[in-house]
Amino acid sequence: MNASRVVLIFICLTISVLWAEGNVTYSLQKATNPTEDQLDAYARIEAAMDSAVFMYNKYTSLSKKITVYYDVGVPTAQANFDGVISFGSNRSYMVVGTAMHEMGHVFGVGTTSEYKNLIVDGVFQGAQTTAKIIEIEGKANAVIQGDGTHFWPYGLNYASEIKSEQDLIYHCWIIDAMYKDFFKEELFFTGKLKSDQGLCMVRSDHSLLLGDCEDPLAIVKLYRLGDKTPYTYRLEFGELVLDVPNETTAPNTEVGLYRWNGKNHQRVLIDSTAGGRVTLKMNHGNLYLEAQNNRIVQALPSASNANQKWSFLSLGDEPSVSILRHKGVKFSQNKRQFHVDLKGRVLPSQKRSRFQKRITIDSP
Protein backbone atom coordinates (compact mmCIF):
# COMPACT_ATOMS: atom_id res chain seq x y z
CA MET A 1 0.00 0.00 0.00
CA ASN A 2 1.35 3.46 -0.91
CA ALA A 3 2.49 5.50 2.07
CA SER A 4 0.46 8.46 0.84
CA ARG A 5 -2.68 6.67 2.00
CA VAL A 6 -1.47 6.42 5.56
CA VAL A 7 -2.96 8.40 8.41
CA LEU A 8 -0.62 8.54 11.39
CA ILE A 9 -1.66 9.52 14.87
CA PHE A 10 -0.62 12.73 16.50
CA ILE A 11 -1.00 12.37 20.25
CA CYS A 12 1.07 15.35 21.29
CA LEU A 13 -1.92 16.96 23.00
CA THR A 14 -1.82 14.20 25.61
CA ILE A 15 1.72 15.16 26.55
CA SER A 16 1.30 18.92 26.98
CA VAL A 17 -1.37 21.47 26.28
CA LEU A 18 1.44 23.64 25.01
CA TRP A 19 3.00 21.14 22.60
CA ALA A 20 3.66 23.16 19.48
CA GLU A 21 3.24 21.77 15.98
CA GLY A 22 5.49 24.45 14.54
CA ASN A 23 9.22 24.88 14.96
CA VAL A 24 9.87 28.57 14.35
CA THR A 25 12.81 30.15 16.15
CA TYR A 26 14.45 33.56 15.97
CA SER A 27 17.59 35.37 17.03
CA LEU A 28 17.83 39.15 17.50
CA GLN A 29 21.15 40.60 16.40
CA LYS A 30 22.43 43.09 18.96
CA ALA A 31 25.22 45.64 19.12
CA THR A 32 28.17 44.87 21.37
CA ASN A 33 27.77 48.16 23.24
CA PRO A 34 24.12 49.13 22.70
CA THR A 35 22.82 52.64 23.20
CA GLU A 36 19.77 53.45 25.31
CA ASP A 37 17.72 53.65 22.12
CA GLN A 38 18.90 50.20 21.04
CA LEU A 39 18.25 48.66 24.46
CA ASP A 40 14.70 49.98 24.43
CA ALA A 41 14.15 48.76 20.87
CA TYR A 42 15.59 45.32 21.63
CA ALA A 43 13.21 44.87 24.58
CA ARG A 44 10.18 45.84 22.50
CA ILE A 45 11.19 43.72 19.52
CA GLU A 46 11.86 40.69 21.71
CA ALA A 47 8.45 41.03 23.38
CA ALA A 48 6.74 41.20 19.98
CA MET A 49 8.75 38.35 18.44
CA ASP A 50 8.39 36.09 21.50
CA SER A 51 4.62 36.32 21.27
CA ALA A 52 4.55 36.06 17.47
CA VAL A 53 6.72 32.93 17.49
CA PHE A 54 4.59 31.41 20.25
CA MET A 55 1.45 31.89 18.15
CA TYR A 56 3.03 30.46 14.99
CA ASN A 57 4.35 27.45 16.88
CA LYS A 58 0.98 26.74 18.48
CA TYR A 59 -1.24 27.32 15.47
CA THR A 60 0.88 26.33 12.45
CA SER A 61 3.11 23.40 11.47
CA LEU A 62 5.73 25.68 9.94
CA SER A 63 9.46 25.60 10.58
CA LYS A 64 12.09 28.26 10.04
CA LYS A 65 14.97 30.01 11.74
CA ILE A 66 14.48 33.79 11.59
CA THR A 67 17.15 36.44 12.01
CA VAL A 68 15.89 39.79 13.34
CA TYR A 69 17.57 43.21 13.12
CA TYR A 70 16.93 46.67 14.51
CA ASP A 71 17.68 49.04 11.62
CA VAL A 72 16.84 52.73 11.98
CA GLY A 73 17.00 53.05 8.20
CA VAL A 74 13.85 50.92 7.81
CA PRO A 75 10.71 53.12 7.72
CA THR A 76 8.38 50.57 9.36
CA ALA A 77 9.32 46.88 9.22
CA GLN A 78 10.28 44.54 6.41
CA ALA A 79 11.06 40.88 5.75
CA ASN A 80 12.18 38.48 3.06
CA PHE A 81 11.84 34.78 2.29
CA ASP A 82 15.42 34.14 3.39
CA GLY A 83 14.23 34.54 6.98
CA VAL A 84 15.31 38.10 7.77
CA ILE A 85 13.03 40.58 9.56
CA SER A 86 14.08 44.18 10.18
CA PHE A 87 12.30 46.66 12.44
CA GLY A 88 12.78 50.40 12.03
CA SER A 89 12.85 52.99 14.82
CA ASN A 90 9.08 53.60 14.86
CA ARG A 91 7.96 51.96 18.11
CA SER A 92 4.36 51.59 16.94
CA TYR A 93 5.50 48.77 14.66
CA MET A 94 7.30 46.86 17.42
CA VAL A 95 4.16 44.90 18.26
CA VAL A 96 3.02 41.32 17.87
CA GLY A 97 0.68 42.09 14.96
CA THR A 98 3.48 43.59 12.89
CA ALA A 99 5.84 40.77 13.84
CA MET A 100 3.31 38.17 12.68
CA HIS A 101 2.63 40.11 9.49
CA GLU A 102 6.36 40.12 8.70
CA MET A 103 6.56 36.42 9.49
CA GLY A 104 3.97 35.93 6.76
CA HIS A 105 6.49 37.43 4.31
CA VAL A 106 9.17 35.10 5.71
CA PHE A 107 6.94 32.16 4.76
CA GLY A 108 6.36 33.40 1.24
CA VAL A 109 3.56 35.97 1.22
CA GLY A 110 4.56 38.58 -1.35
CA THR A 111 8.13 37.27 -1.40
CA THR A 112 7.80 34.21 -3.66
CA SER A 113 6.60 33.55 -7.18
CA GLU A 114 4.46 30.75 -5.75
CA TYR A 115 2.37 33.33 -3.88
CA LYS A 116 2.11 35.73 -6.80
CA ASN A 117 1.12 32.97 -9.23
CA LEU A 118 -1.84 32.07 -7.01
CA ILE A 119 -3.28 35.61 -7.06
CA VAL A 120 -5.70 35.74 -10.00
CA ASP A 121 -7.94 38.78 -10.49
CA GLY A 122 -7.28 39.83 -6.92
CA VAL A 123 -8.29 36.50 -5.36
CA PHE A 124 -5.96 33.87 -3.89
CA GLN A 125 -6.65 30.57 -5.68
CA GLY A 126 -4.99 28.02 -3.38
CA ALA A 127 -7.33 25.15 -2.52
CA GLN A 128 -6.20 24.70 1.09
CA THR A 129 -6.45 28.42 1.82
CA THR A 130 -9.86 28.72 0.21
CA ALA A 131 -11.15 25.82 2.28
CA LYS A 132 -9.73 27.40 5.44
CA ILE A 133 -11.30 30.84 4.91
CA ILE A 134 -14.66 29.18 4.20
CA GLU A 135 -14.28 27.29 7.46
CA ILE A 136 -13.37 30.47 9.36
CA GLU A 137 -16.07 32.69 7.89
CA GLY A 138 -18.76 30.02 7.65
CA LYS A 139 -19.66 31.23 4.15
CA ALA A 140 -19.41 29.14 1.00
CA ASN A 141 -18.37 32.19 -1.07
CA ALA A 142 -15.66 33.42 1.31
CA VAL A 143 -12.30 34.16 -0.35
CA ILE A 144 -8.89 35.57 0.46
CA GLN A 145 -8.20 38.68 -1.57
CA GLY A 146 -4.74 39.99 -2.31
CA ASP A 147 -2.22 41.74 -4.51
CA GLY A 148 1.38 40.98 -5.28
CA THR A 149 2.52 41.78 -1.75
CA HIS A 150 -0.30 41.40 0.79
CA PHE A 151 -3.58 39.58 1.42
CA TRP A 152 -6.74 40.21 3.38
CA PRO A 153 -8.61 39.44 5.60
CA TYR A 154 -6.29 38.23 8.40
CA GLY A 155 -3.13 39.53 6.75
CA LEU A 156 -2.60 41.82 9.77
CA ASN A 157 -1.73 44.66 7.41
CA TYR A 158 -3.03 47.31 9.84
CA ALA A 159 -3.40 47.43 13.61
CA SER A 160 -7.12 48.04 13.14
CA GLU A 161 -7.51 44.50 11.76
CA ILE A 162 -6.76 42.99 15.17
CA LYS A 163 -9.92 42.98 17.23
CA SER A 164 -9.03 40.02 19.44
CA GLU A 165 -6.58 37.16 19.93
CA GLN A 166 -8.75 35.13 17.56
CA ASP A 167 -7.67 37.32 14.64
CA LEU A 168 -4.07 36.33 15.34
CA ILE A 169 -5.05 32.67 15.41
CA TYR A 170 -6.92 32.98 12.10
CA HIS A 171 -3.86 34.66 10.60
CA CYS A 172 -1.78 31.62 11.60
CA TRP A 173 -4.30 29.23 10.11
CA ILE A 174 -4.31 31.13 6.81
CA ILE A 175 -0.50 31.33 6.60
CA ASP A 176 -0.26 27.60 7.36
CA ALA A 177 -2.74 26.82 4.56
CA MET A 178 -1.03 29.22 2.15
CA TYR A 179 2.35 27.59 2.72
CA LYS A 180 0.84 24.22 1.84
CA ASP A 181 -0.62 25.76 -1.32
CA PHE A 182 2.74 27.38 -2.20
CA PHE A 183 5.02 24.42 -1.76
CA LYS A 184 2.67 21.43 -1.60
CA GLU A 185 3.99 20.25 1.74
CA GLU A 186 2.15 19.09 4.83
CA LEU A 187 3.03 17.74 8.27
CA PHE A 188 2.67 13.97 7.98
CA PHE A 189 3.94 12.55 11.27
CA THR A 190 5.38 13.68 14.60
CA GLY A 191 7.11 11.07 16.74
CA LYS A 192 10.20 8.85 16.54
CA LEU A 193 11.84 6.49 14.05
CA LYS A 194 12.98 3.22 15.58
CA SER A 195 15.38 0.72 14.04
CA ASP A 196 15.05 -3.06 14.34
CA GLN A 197 17.92 -2.83 16.84
CA GLY A 198 15.50 -1.10 19.22
CA LEU A 199 17.25 2.27 18.99
CA CYS A 200 15.83 5.51 17.62
CA MET A 201 17.25 8.22 15.43
CA VAL A 202 18.57 10.90 17.80
CA ARG A 203 19.94 14.32 17.00
CA SER A 204 23.43 15.12 18.30
CA ASP A 205 24.34 18.64 17.17
CA HIS A 206 24.73 18.25 13.36
CA SER A 207 25.00 14.46 13.59
CA LEU A 208 22.21 11.90 13.47
CA LEU A 209 22.92 8.86 15.62
CA LEU A 210 21.10 5.84 17.03
CA GLY A 211 20.23 6.17 20.69
CA ASP A 212 17.68 5.90 23.47
CA CYS A 213 14.12 6.34 22.25
CA GLU A 214 13.36 8.20 25.49
CA ASP A 215 15.76 10.97 24.50
CA PRO A 216 13.80 14.16 23.73
CA LEU A 217 16.17 14.77 20.80
CA ALA A 218 14.69 11.65 19.16
CA ILE A 219 11.55 13.55 18.16
CA VAL A 220 11.28 13.93 14.40
CA LYS A 221 8.72 15.56 12.15
CA LEU A 222 8.05 14.14 8.71
CA TYR A 223 6.74 16.56 6.11
CA ARG A 224 5.14 15.21 2.96
CA LEU A 225 6.36 17.13 -0.09
CA GLY A 226 4.59 17.59 -3.43
CA ASP A 227 1.05 16.96 -4.60
CA LYS A 228 1.68 13.95 -6.83
CA THR A 229 2.84 10.42 -6.08
CA PRO A 230 5.38 9.22 -5.35
CA TYR A 231 5.63 11.68 -2.48
CA THR A 232 8.96 12.55 -0.95
CA TYR A 233 9.44 13.41 2.72
CA ARG A 234 11.62 15.71 4.81
CA LEU A 235 12.84 14.37 8.18
CA GLU A 236 13.13 17.34 10.51
CA PHE A 237 14.96 17.31 13.83
CA GLY A 238 14.49 20.73 15.34
CA GLU A 239 15.61 23.37 12.83
CA LEU A 240 17.78 20.86 10.91
CA VAL A 241 16.86 18.08 8.49
CA LEU A 242 18.34 14.72 7.51
CA ASP A 243 21.04 15.37 4.93
CA VAL A 244 23.61 13.38 2.95
CA PRO A 245 26.89 15.34 3.03
CA ASN A 246 27.98 16.85 -0.29
CA GLU A 247 25.04 15.17 -2.04
CA THR A 248 27.17 12.06 -2.44
CA THR A 249 25.70 8.81 -3.75
CA ALA A 250 28.52 6.72 -2.30
CA PRO A 251 27.25 3.70 -0.29
CA ASN A 252 27.96 3.55 3.45
CA THR A 253 28.13 7.33 3.76
CA GLU A 254 27.01 8.45 7.21
CA VAL A 255 24.06 10.85 7.08
CA GLY A 256 23.92 14.01 9.14
CA LEU A 257 21.79 17.09 9.73
CA TYR A 258 21.80 20.38 7.91
CA ARG A 259 19.62 23.38 7.15
CA TRP A 260 16.82 22.64 4.66
CA ASN A 261 17.64 23.55 1.06
CA GLY A 262 15.02 21.46 -0.72
CA LYS A 263 17.40 19.31 -2.77
CA ASN A 264 16.95 15.60 -3.37
CA HIS A 265 19.74 14.56 -0.99
CA GLN A 266 17.50 15.84 1.84
CA ARG A 267 14.38 13.97 0.69
CA VAL A 268 13.38 10.37 1.30
CA LEU A 269 10.84 8.00 -0.21
CA ILE A 270 8.85 5.80 2.17
CA ASP A 271 7.96 2.22 1.25
CA SER A 272 5.92 0.00 3.55
CA THR A 273 7.09 -3.52 4.34
CA ALA A 274 5.75 -6.48 6.29
CA GLY A 275 4.81 -5.95 9.92
CA GLY A 276 4.06 -2.26 9.59
CA ARG A 277 7.68 -1.30 9.14
CA VAL A 278 9.08 0.93 6.40
CA THR A 279 12.18 1.48 4.35
CA LEU A 280 13.53 4.99 3.85
CA LYS A 281 15.10 5.49 0.44
CA MET A 282 17.17 8.58 -0.33
CA ASN A 283 15.68 10.42 -3.29
CA HIS A 284 19.00 11.28 -4.97
CA GLY A 285 20.11 7.66 -5.40
CA ASN A 286 19.05 4.05 -5.00
CA LEU A 287 20.32 3.93 -1.41
CA TYR A 288 18.45 3.14 1.80
CA LEU A 289 18.90 4.38 5.35
CA GLU A 290 20.51 1.60 7.36
CA ALA A 291 21.30 1.25 11.08
CA GLN A 292 24.96 0.36 11.66
CA ASN A 293 25.88 0.18 15.34
CA ASN A 294 25.14 3.73 16.52
CA ARG A 295 25.37 5.26 13.04
CA ILE A 296 22.89 5.79 10.23
CA VAL A 297 24.25 5.38 6.73
CA GLN A 298 22.90 5.22 3.19
CA ALA A 299 23.44 1.70 1.87
CA LEU A 300 22.72 -0.46 -1.14
CA PRO A 301 19.23 -2.01 -1.00
CA SER A 302 18.85 -5.40 0.65
CA ALA A 303 15.40 -6.91 1.10
CA SER A 304 16.69 -9.32 3.74
CA ASN A 305 18.57 -6.69 5.78
CA ALA A 306 16.56 -5.94 8.91
CA ASN A 307 18.79 -2.94 9.59
CA GLN A 308 17.06 -1.17 6.72
CA LYS A 309 13.65 -1.52 8.38
CA TRP A 310 12.23 1.27 10.51
CA SER A 311 9.14 1.67 12.69
CA PHE A 312 7.11 4.77 13.46
CA LEU A 313 6.62 5.44 17.17
CA SER A 314 4.06 7.97 18.25
CA LEU A 315 5.01 10.40 21.00
CA GLY A 316 5.24 8.85 24.45
CA ASP A 317 6.86 5.66 23.12
CA GLU A 318 3.56 3.93 22.48
CA PRO A 319 3.63 0.69 20.50
CA SER A 320 4.62 1.02 16.88
CA VAL A 321 2.11 2.77 14.67
CA SER A 322 1.42 0.63 11.62
CA ILE A 323 1.40 2.64 8.44
CA LEU A 324 -0.52 -0.17 6.76
CA ARG A 325 -3.86 0.76 8.26
CA HIS A 326 -5.88 3.84 9.04
CA LYS A 327 -6.31 4.82 12.63
CA GLY A 328 -7.96 7.74 14.36
CA VAL A 329 -8.03 9.19 17.81
CA LYS A 330 -10.63 11.64 19.01
CA PHE A 331 -9.82 14.35 21.50
CA SER A 332 -12.48 16.25 23.38
CA GLN A 333 -11.26 19.77 23.98
CA ASN A 334 -12.55 22.58 26.12
CA LYS A 335 -11.54 26.21 26.22
CA ARG A 336 -9.65 27.38 29.29
CA GLN A 337 -8.12 30.72 30.11
CA PHE A 338 -4.43 30.87 31.01
CA HIS A 339 -2.22 33.81 31.79
CA VAL A 340 0.79 33.70 29.51
CA ASP A 341 3.86 35.91 29.58
CA LEU A 342 5.33 37.37 26.42
CA LYS A 343 7.58 34.34 25.98
CA GLY A 344 4.46 32.18 25.68
CA ARG A 345 4.93 30.54 29.09
CA VAL A 346 1.90 29.64 31.18
CA LEU A 347 2.16 31.43 34.48
CA PRO A 348 1.54 29.63 37.79
CA SER A 349 -0.40 32.60 39.12
CA GLN A 350 -3.43 34.40 37.76
CA LYS A 351 -1.91 37.68 38.90
CA ARG A 352 -1.34 39.98 35.95
CA SER A 353 1.41 42.48 35.29
CA ARG A 354 2.19 44.76 32.37
CA PHE A 355 4.42 42.03 30.94
CA GLN A 356 1.59 39.48 30.78
CA LYS A 357 -1.28 38.89 28.46
CA ARG A 358 -4.35 36.71 28.57
CA ILE A 359 -4.76 34.10 25.89
CA THR A 360 -7.17 31.27 25.24
CA ILE A 361 -5.46 27.90 24.85
CA ASP A 362 -7.13 24.66 23.85
CA SER A 363 -6.65 22.02 26.52
CA PRO A 364 -8.01 18.51 27.03
Round to whole Å and give the CA distance between 183 and 132.
Answer: 17
Please report the pLDDT score of residue 336 as a whole number: 38
In three-state secondary structure terms, 79 is strand
- Distances, alpha carbon 349 to alpha carbons 47, 127, 338, 341, 345, in Å: 20, 43, 9, 11, 12
Contact 35, 89 (CB under 8 A): no
Query: Which amino acid would we find at residue 325?
Result: R
Round to whole Å and give the CA distance between 263 and 261.
Answer: 6
Please report the pLDDT score of residue 186 as a whole number: 86
DSSP codes, 19-53: --S-EEEEEE---SS--HHHHHHHHHHHHHHHHHH
Round to whole Å and give the CA distance between 173 and 155.
Answer: 11
Please report the pLDDT score of residue 233 as a whole number: 95
Contact 338, 346 (CB under 8 A): yes
Among 216, 198, 158, 233, CA closest to 310: 198
In three-state secondary structure terms, 327 is coil
Please report the pLDDT score of residue 314 as a whole number: 87
Among 248, 237, 252, CA closest to 205: 237
Query: What is this structure's pTM?
Result: 0.71
Q: Tens-digit pLDDT profile for the chain (364 aa)?
A: 333 333 222 323 222 223 347 889 999 999 999 999 999 999 999 999 999 999 999 999 998 999 999 999 999 999 999 899 999 999 999 999 999 999 999 999 999 999 999 999 999 999 999 999 999 999 999 999 999 999 999 999 999 999 999 999 999 999 999 999 999 988 899 999 999 999 999 999 999 999 999 999 999 999 999 888 899 999 999 889 999 999 999 999 999 999 888 889 999 999 987 778 999 999 998 899 999 999 999 999 987 889 999 999 988 644 443 333 322 222 223 333 434 444 444 444 333 333 333 333 332 2
Please report the pLDDT score of residue 316 as a whole number: 61
Tell which phi-psi region holds residue 272, choosing left (phi > 0), alpha (psi between -120 and 50) or beta. beta
- Which domains, ranges and CATH numbers included, belong to the chain? 20-183 (3.40.390), 186-314 (2.80.10.50), 330-364 (no CATH)
- Distances, alpha carbon 249 to alpha carbons 133, 270, 280, in Å: 44, 18, 15
